[in-house]
Structure 1
Amino acid sequence: MTVWDIIVALILGFVEGLTEFAPVSSTGHMIIVDDMLLKSQEILGSPEVANTFKVVIQLGSILAVVIVFWKKLWSLVGIHIGGKDTNVTSGPRLKLSHVIVGLLPAAVLGLAFEDIIDQYLFRVETVLLALVAGAVLMIIADWKAKQNKESDGASLDEVTYKQAILIGLFQCIALWPGFSRSGATISGGVLMGLKHRAAADFTFIMAVPIMFGASAVSLISKWDVMTAEVIPFFVVGFVSAFVFAWISIRFFLVLIEKIKLLPFAIYRIVLAAILGVIYISMM
């Protein structure tokens, strides 16, 4: 690897980790940053390997979630760790079955349409459209929460199976790169009556199996492209994504309670407008 290769892997890991759990679309940002600026496919040898990289380094972000939510994740399987845990209550508890129910819709559709998504939706044009569409959904969610009063929303451990499946259906929209999985599920959770923080927590917990599954499927199906030459690039991206995802999660969980979704929606619209102008000028 050259110094430039390392810098590119670090930047893409930074973009993935910093944006994975903010409702702005990490995949969309990586497609934009990479396709318009860094061109990792020239380093890795093909667009196929570059797309696999963008999915696989999400494992670094998953590891960050596991570390932040480790007590809650253990409690899902009935193991309750002692000590203070702001994510675990003494009343009703979120169960593993709630998470599974929430995962089913996107898991089924993701497997069924993986090839179509890779072929047609991993493009700058579709990402820009998704940024705007996701922003509209977030604005609607914030408006609905304001109408219903945020303080009346359900907590994480009060999530019902009906809410879980409906949030899972919202998650399906995020199969469209650029829409944002966290943006879709947090908005869906708020629309289903959850508090913003509870919706964010549920989103992060659901992220562990679904992101791990997506990364594993992509890695296994593209295993033949994982040569000794590209593995160091993947490792650097993984470590970078882990570090910045851990920082992002801790910061975002505090931020979402204070500013809600509207500022992120505005950011998405402004970003789409700016990048749209740049993209058109480059054509």
Structure 2
Amino acid sequence: MSEHIIAFILGVVEGLTEFLPVSSTGHLILAGHLLGFEGQKAATFEVIIQLGSMLAVLVLFWRRYLSLLNFKTIGKSHKKLDIIHIILGVLPAALVGLILHDFIKNVLFSPKVVVVSLILGAILMIFAEKKHGRFTASTVDELSYMQALSIGLFQCLAVIPGFSRAGSTISGGLLSRADHKTSAEFSFLVALPIMVGATGLDLIKSLDFLHTNDIPMFAIGFITAFVVAMLVAVIFLKLIGKIGLSIFAYYRIVLAVLFTIFVIM
């Protein structure tokens, strides 16, 4: 199979899974293993296609990000999402990721950790779906600072490969009484700063492995991930309130079984 086809397939996988609560890391590892595309070049390629997903979020929510620059609304009594919500949602995971970056990359990036994380994340999602209380926030503008911080703390779980950033943050949102769509939208909004930091750090460390000959392959993966991620994000926000998290949790358990069969055994 040509590298261009592999790039397209992995771009689709990245775009489909980055913002769904199913673990894009787990899918990329499994898909890369099945396609025979592994090693440092594959790791660098994954960094590039994540940039495509990041661009999708920026395009979808650029107006919202611009509104966060209106510092006059910070701390006002009327309800309005502001930059403090984003900081509270980002800071905990950013600190954990920065402190543990090398440990995560060198120790936690293993098939067994991914399998365990897939299952534990599924349990968390089922628990959040069944145990959340009456919703007090039905839009991101109704989120309190405490709810934003709660979601930010849950996002710390996403530094573990296979746990899923979307799964962790949406579960945290439900348990802090934000409804499904609000939790998912806030998850997308806080994903961009986290991904910029994590991907930027990985990209710097991968510069030695970037070659001009790989530009067509990387471009295919980047563009594919961007287009697919944008479509998935729009559809997911429309459907999450109707379908909930449980269906994704059960899918994660199936994925864990497939991961065990094809990667570990």
Q: Shared fold by TM > 0.5?
A: yes
- Please say if residues 30 and 262 of structure 2, whose CA atoms lie closer than 8 Å, have aligned partners that are also in contact: no
* In 1, Cα distance between equivalents of 2:50 and 2:104: 17
What residue in structure 1 maps to residue 111 of structure 2?
124
Q: Which amino acid counterpart does residue 268 of structure 1 have in structure 2?
A: R
Give the Å deviation of 1:153.
4.2
1:16 equivalent to 2:8? Answer: no
Q: Which amino acid counterpart does residue 31 of structure 1 have in structure 2?
A: I
1:73 equivalent to 2:57? Answer: no
Deviations 1:178-226 (A, max 9, x none): 1100000000111111111100000000111111221111111221111
- Please say if residues 128 and 276 of structure 1, whose CA atoms lie closer than 8 Å, have aligned partners that are also in contact: yes
* Coordinate RMSD, CA, aligned: 1.7
Give the Å deviation of 1:121.
2.2
Q: Which amino acid counterpart does residue 37 of structure 2 have in structure 1?
A: S
What residue in structure 1 maps to residue 156 of structure 2?
172
- Please say if residues 108 and 160 of structure 2, whose CA atoms lie closer than 8 Å, have aligned partners that are also in contact: yes
What residue in structure 1 maps to residue 37 of structure 2?
40
1:274 equivalent to 2:258? Answer: yes
Gaps of 5+ in 2: 72-77
* In 2, Cα distance between equivalents of 1:118 and 1:38: 22
Equivalent of residue 63 in structure 1, options 55, 58, 61: 55
Matches within 5 A, 1:1-283: 4-35=2-33, 37-41=34-38, 47-78=39-70, 92-145=79-132, 148-150=133-135, 152-279=136-263, 283=265
Give the Å deviation of 1:74.
1.5
Runs of 4+ in structure 1 off by over 4 angstroms are: none
Give the Å deviation of 1:130.
1.0
* In 1, Cα distance between equivalents of 2:191 and 2:66: 15
Q: Which amino acid counterpart does residue 111 of structure 1 have in structure 2?
A: L
Give the Å deviation of 1:164.
1.6
What residue in structure 2 maps to residue 87 of structure 1?
none
Deviations 1:48-105 (A, max 9, x none): 33223213311111111122222212111129xxxxxxxxxxx511001210121111
* In 2, Cα distance between equivalents of 1:269 and 1:214: 27
- Please say if residues 137 and 143 of structure 2, whose CA atoms lie closer than 8 Å, have aligned partners that are also in contact: no
User: Could you tell me the TM-score, scaled by structure 1's length?
Assistant: 0.86
Give the Å deviation of 1:235.
1.7
* In 1, Cα distance between equivalents of 2:92 and 2:40: 26
Give the Å deviation of 1:125.
2.0
Give the Å deviation of 1:154.
4.5
* In 2, Cα distance between equivalents of 1:56 and 1:169: 27
What percentage of aligned pairs have identical amino acids?
48
Q: Which amino acid counterpart does residue 249 of structure 1 have in structure 2?
A: A
Give the Å deviation of 1:172.
1.0
- Please say if residues 31 and 123 of structure 1, whose CA atoms lie closer than 8 Å, have aligned partners that are also in contact: no
What is the total number of aligned residue pairs between the two structures? 259
- Please say if residues 128 and 172 of structure 2, whose CA atoms lie closer than 8 Å, have aligned partners that are also in contact: yes
* In 2, Cα distance between equivalents of 1:4 and 1:102: 41
The 3-state SS of whatever aligns with 1:21 is coil
- Please say if residues 56 and 218 of structure 1, whose CA atoms lie closer than 8 Å, have aligned partners that are also in contact: no
Q: Which amino acid counterpart does residue 168 of structure 1 have in structure 2?
A: G
